[in-house]
Amino acid sequence: MSHRPSSPIGVFDSGIGGLTVAHAIHQQLPNEQIIYFGDTAHLPYGDKSEAAIQAYSIKIVDLLLEKGCKVIVIACNSASSAAYELLKEYVGRQAHIINVIDPMVELVASTLAGKKVGLIGTKRTVQSGIYARKIKEINPKQDIYSLATPLLAPMIEEGFFNSQISHEIIANYLSDQLLNSIDALILACTHYPLIHKEINDFYKNKIITLDSASVVTKKLSSYLSEQNLMNAPAKPVHHFMVSDFTESFEASTRIFFGHEVKLEWYPLWKQDL
């Protein structure tokens, strides 16, 4: 399928975290229209089986293809890990797919050789070992010190960041011996850009912190440029859909996206009605 530069960019996540990726795209590529899908009926993906995540992802991708998306960004570490290879095969040439893991892996492997690199993420992401495995494939001598930080995503979802509570929880995790003397830290969860500044403050800006939202946006920008798919100057109207609607979720989207967002309810299956 041939796409026009004016075709939209699809972004999906199990819920709200991927809005940090959508917001980074909106800021860096202001002419691009975004169609966002948050699978709120099935969140969090972190405790779902691989088969379930793949089933949800295919259903969402079908919708984004129907909307004519030229690129689909999997703005979720769990879905990137469980479904990317399957989706790439499933979608074929209908659209280009970018996940949140590979751009970070490429960046770390090419720029941080010989440095002590830490990683924080959800239990599923850390237990999967996907970052460490992929980075070692490129640079066998590079070790990654991965720490599960399960309280951070729910803390952010509840609006606790830039507060005394968040400072203490972040400090508690980052003081773990595993992360002693690191030179760089990978923020391996799409919620974490919202606490990027707090993490930098903890380290007094003395280490490199990498969040997937900015890294993925650079990858997307390069792809659009190489393929001559950058949209002409425009004022696009973004479209946001969720599989289960709650007022609290709509209120939270402002925090994640940076300004008011109107959500459309779009159940993936009839039983979700």
Catalytic residue among 76, 135, 210, 215: 76
**Pair (201, 221) in one structural domain:** no
- Write the CB contacts of 74 (distance below 8 Å, at least 6 apart in sequence): 12, 57, 80, 83, 84, 87, 97, 98, 99, 100
Q: Is 104 within 8 Å of 190 (Cβ atoms)?
A: no
- Write the CB contacts of 233 (distance below 8 Å, at least 6 apart in sequence): 31
**Pair (182, 262) in one structural domain:** no
**Pair (266, 139) in one structural domain:** no
Query: Amino acid letter at 85?
Result: E
Where residue 202 sits, what CATH number does that domain have?
Answer: 3.40.50.1860
Q: Please give the backbone phi and psi of residue 16, each rounded to the nearest 5 degrees, phi first.
A: -100, -25
**Pair (135, 263) in one structural domain:** no
Give the count of domains, the chain.
2
- For residue 181, the 8-state DSSP code is T
**Pair (21, 87) in one structural domain:** yes
Neighbours of 183 (CB within 10 A): 13
Instruction: State pTM to two decimals.
Output: 0.93
Residue at 2 is within a domain: no
Residue at 1 is within a domain: no
The per-residue pLDDT string of the chain (273 residues; one tens digit each, 9 = 90 and over) reads 578 999 999 999 998 889 999 999 999 999 999 999 999 999 888 888 899 999 999 999 999 999 999 999 999 999 999 999 999 999 999 999 999 999 999 999 999 999 999 999 988 889 999 999 999 999 999 999 999 999 998 898 888 889 999 999 999 999 999 999 999 999 999 999 999 999 999 999 999 999 999 999 999 999 999 999 999 998 899 999 999 987 777 888 888 888 888 889 999 886 555
Largest CA distance in the chain: 52
Residue indicated by tokens 């009605």:
273
**Pair (14, 148) in one structural domain:** no
Q: Is 223 within 8 Å of 18 (Cβ atoms)?
A: no
- Lateral strand order in the sheet of 144-148: 144-148, 117-121, 184-188, 208-211
- Lateral strand order in the sheet of 9-13: 96-99, 71-74, 9-13, 34-38, 239-242, 263-265
**Pair (141, 197) in one structural domain:** yes
pLDDT of residue 269: 81
Neighbours of 249 (CB within 10 A): 17
Catalytic residue among 61, 189, 224, 229: 189
Q: Is there a catalytic annotation at residue 189?
A: yes
Q: Is there a catalytic annotation at residue 76?
A: yes
Query: CA 180, CA 116: separation in Å to the nearest integer?
Result: 9
Query: CA 28, CA 192: separation in Å to the nearest integer?
Result: 18
Question: In which domain, by residue range, is 152 found?
Answer: 102-212
**Pair (249, 152) in one structural domain:** no
Q: Where would I find the beta strands (DSSP E) of 75-183?
A: 96-99, 117-121, 144-148
